[in-house]
Amino acid sequence: MKSVLLALAPMGAAALAVSPPVYPTPQARGHGQWADAYVQARAFVALMSLGEKVNITRGFADPSNTCAGNTGSVPRLNWHGLCLMDAGNGVRATDMVSAWASGLHVGASWDRNLTYERGLWMAREFKAKGVNIALGPNAGPLGRTPLGGRNWEGFSVDPYLAGALGAETITGMQEAGVMANLKHFIANEQETYRRPYFGVEAVSSNIDDKTLHEYYLWPFMDGVKAGAASVMCSYNRINNTYGCENSKLMNGILKGELGYQGFVMLDWNAQHNLNSANAGLDMLMPLGGSWGDNLTEAVRNNTVKEARVTDMATRILAAWYLVGQDEGFPTPGIGMKKLTEPHEPVDARDARSKPVLLEGAISGHVLVKNDNHALPFTKPLRMVSVYGYDAAVPATKNTDVLFQLGYYSSKEMGQAVLGKDYHFDQAARGGTIISGGRAGSNAPAYISDPLSAIQQRAQKDNTWVNWDLASDNPDVNGASEACLVFINAMATEGWDRDGLHDDPSDALVNNVASKCANTIAVVHAAGIRLVDRWIEHPNVTAAIIAHLPGQDGGAALVKLLYGEANFSGKLPYTLAKNESDYAVYAPCGRGPDNTTSPQCDFTEGVYLDYRAFDEGNVTPRYEFGYGLSYTTFSYGGVELWQDEGLVESAGDAGDLWDVVARVSTTVTNTGSVAGEEVAQLYLGIPGAPPKQLRGFEKARLAPGQSATVEFGLTRRDLSEWQVARQRWVVQRGEYGVFVGASSRDIRSTASIVVPGRMERGRAETPSRIAAPFIMKSNGRY
């Protein structure tokens, strides 16, 4: 089955990237954590007729619920089918659920435990609503272009961080009894030309095999290892073959190389054909698509083997058994009703999840500037002034399309038709934002907006509050002790963003700062939002990237402003000074030679975000992994252990996850208040970017407290993908080890030396690197 994605040739009519065919589909073996589920699934599927097996591999309209999709059922065997619903940030377009922090906000928390808890409690709401499959989390897009309309749905542009948090999410969701859906497979990195419309094919992500494995496949590997029940193939083409027709990707890589045991699902109405079944696709959505009754006929005329259909049905049933839906699961779709019609609401919320919701909202806020300890407010303010369209609750949150698609604050987006060209205001001026738009949005029980939360605190503290949310150049009461300016950056599925800032919002910050000596800027952002138009203004004393905190955003922010909680978030991307600093900025379009077949060449390889900034020696405004706290932390030296057997060698599926080296350091809270520090480990792999994230741990420390932080490095962490050998290979040579508080705030270094095959292995002797750096009060070194 070995074949490779062809290296890119110069693009033109005569030379296009090609994805080679790989057949047949590997049959699932049912090993490891899947073993018991496969015993049950095989026994069940053996009782089914061909027609019944085909029935559960496709969608049907079900007027009894508003699930995004429903599979067929098997009434004879009392199997009721599956309800599928959006998405990875909470249940969308229904009532009596919660709006959780969005993926990017979770990424900014760098918190494995909290990510797991979010997945667990969020999925319990899906389960209560009778949703069998939650359509998330997102492992793609990662964020190749910072303008990507769906970047906010995922965790980070970095594949290691995205993969680690994706795996925690999947584990939590499936422990709650809900099937996770890992999407979008693969290289689905822009909304522009994301699928065929009006005679124009979907964009082709032209990507070489090495880049595919080392960057875009990485988080999917983590998701597969975590036991993801399902994977969604993507709308786009990859090397000129549609994702849901691509046998190289589904058969060759996902089910072959990764040994994936779950099922592959069609993204809604994605391009596919009857042969997609042979290419590795297992389930169509939302209806029968190109299969319909044709799949049964294809088996009869031997176009598709019945063994393939049996494997499809078995994979689906095995996933159902894997998460325990054979016992005690509600009727599919029982809580998904048309909201404008009389219905008995199913309250999916659990009071025990409230601390997770609030802590999730708090943890993704990133403090990027805090001059002269402007924050926290250490005593009650006598007067505070609030400005900006993002400070208040949206005008409506009802049952309409704005609610269903998360467009409460951006009504113009609610009128847009998919596939048509629109250029939206970069800011959602109708109120604060808690998520981005469309499939990844969620349904808030309430919205705690900043102004309301500030006024509730003012009532307690006897503070006078001024506000003007309408003017771009408001007056400022000269007695104001602090001026808070709220702006945002909106993004949505279906369209990429037009830019990374907007002039009116930047002018608002500057106008207030010109009149207020203690101006604090707060930016809710569905993606990267540049700050250089105002960040160096001397009266902008503090700046917070508030991302997308969900329904508790205002309450979370007030706790942070007043020091009842501490900032611990770190940027899951690089915040540049200029748009031109990004290695890839705009999404790919059409040219004179590809008017109906857009081509997007990923020639930058793995050099994206901080990897490209480091390689090009470009100074960012705020680097990947950066974030301030109200306290300070020092790092000790590092201790390094490496396995004696770590030599130049190729790995396989059985040993890629073996820990072959360990790095530890001591982190100490040197400040006066409790706080959490995210210690980060980067590797310098020979012939690769200067630094790549390969470990992170979040430590909560009281003042003066120290903790040992340990990072385990797997064989995969040290490996490169060698195309010629089609193997992950640990190279001979020296690997730099960098431990610190961000990708550029490195506190201690060491090295791992990997000998050649014939050289003696290194002894298991710890090496110690002393001379720790001490973090200064501004968070730098």
Q: Is residue 678 scored above 80 in pLDDT? A: yes
Kindly give the interhelix angle for 35-45 and 306-322, rounded to the nearest 10 degrees: 130
pLDDT for 1: 44
Structure tokens at 285: 């959505």
The identity of residue 407, as a single letter, is Y
Cα 671 to chain centroid, rounded:
32
Least confident of 169-183, 461-475, 528-542, 745-759: 745-759
Alpha helices in 628-774 (DSSP H): 715-718
- Beta-carbon contacts of residue 69 (< 8 Å; ≥ 6 apart): 59, 83, 84, 85, 268, 285, 286
Per-residue pLDDT at 661 exceeds 90: yes
Measuring CA to CA, how many Å separate 349 from each of 91, 165, 433, 713? 11, 23, 22, 39
Confidence of residue 594 (pLDDT cuts 50, 70, 90): confident
Strand order in the sheet with 69-70: 69-70, 83-85, 133-134, 179-185, 230-233, 263-266
Residue 635: name the closest of 735, 708, 712, 737 by CA.
708
pLDDT digits (tens, 9 = 90+) for 232-255: 999 999 999 999 999 999 999 999
Give CA separation, 295 vs 58, 79, 233, 242, 282, in Å.
10, 21, 19, 20, 11
Tokens at residue 74, please? 């098997």
The CATH class of the 34-323 domain is alpha beta
| Per-residue pLDDT at 775 exceeds 70 | no
Q: Could you report the per-residue pLDDT of 610-619, keeping only the tens digit for each?
A: 999 999 999 9
3-class secondary structure, 483: strand
What average pLDDT score do residues 712-731 get? 97
Encode pLDDT of 394-429 as tens digits: 999 999 999 999 999 999 999 999 999 999 999 999
Residue 753 pairs in a beta bridge with: 734
CATH number of 631-754: 2.60.40.10
Known catalytic residue: 267? Answer: yes
Assess whether pLDDT exceeds 70 at residue 475.
yes
7 confidence band (pLDDT: 50, 70, 90)? very low
**Backbone dihedral angles phi then psi of residue 694, each to the nearest 5 degrees:** -140, 15
pLDDT band at 757 (very low <50, low <70, confident <90, very high): confident
Tell me: pLDDT of 452 over 90: yes
pLDDT (tens digit per residue) in 119-137: 999 999 999 999 999 999 9
> Does residue 10 carry a pLDDT above 50?
no
Q: Distance (Å, rounded) from C-alpha 119 to C-alpha 170? A: 7
Q: Are 305 and 299 in contact (CB under 8 A)?
A: yes
Residue 685 to residues 285, 438, 688, 737, 744, Cα–Cα distance (Å):
42, 39, 5, 9, 17
Is 653 a residue whose pLDDT tops 90?
A: no
How far, rounded to the nearest angstrom, does the alpha carbon of residue 301 sit from its chain's CA centroid?
A: 43
Give the DSSP per-residue string, 115-126. Answer: HHHHHHHHHHHH
Report the distance separating Cα 557 and Cα 168, nearest Å: 25
pLDDT at 161: 99
Q: Which of 95, 111, 209, 267 is catalytic?
A: 267
* Eight-class DSSP state of 463: -
Over 50: is that where the pLDDT of 3 sits? no
- CA 299 to CA 320: how far, in whole Å? 25
- In a 3-state reduction of DSSP, which class is residue 318? helix
Per-residue pLDDT band for 4 (boundaries 50, 70, 90) equals: low
Cα distance between residue 535 and residue 521, in whole Å? 9
CB 572 within 8 A of CB 624: yes
55: closest CA among 72, 32, 37? 72
Q: What is the pLDDT of residues 43-95, one digit of tens each?
A: 999 999 999 999 999 999 999 999 999 999 999 999 999 999 999 999 999 99
pLDDT for residue 174: 98
> Structurally, what CATH architecture does the domain formed by 352-573 represent?
3-Layer(aba) Sandwich (3.40)
pLDDT value at residue 15 = 64
* The residue type at 78: N
Percentage, residues of the chain above pLDDT 70? 95
Look at the block and give the residue holding tokens 């409460």. 408
The pLDDT of 673-692, averaged and rounded, is 98
CB 362 within 8 A of CB 556: yes
| Max CA separation in the chain (angstroms) | 83
- Tell me whether strands 599-601 and 204-206 are parallel, antiparallel or unpaired: parallel
Domain with CATH 3.20.20.300 in the chain: 34-323
CATH 2.60.40.10 in the chain: give the residue spans.
631-754
Virtual CA dihedral for 241, 256, 115, 550, nearest 10 degrees?
Answer: 20
* SS3 at position 328: coil
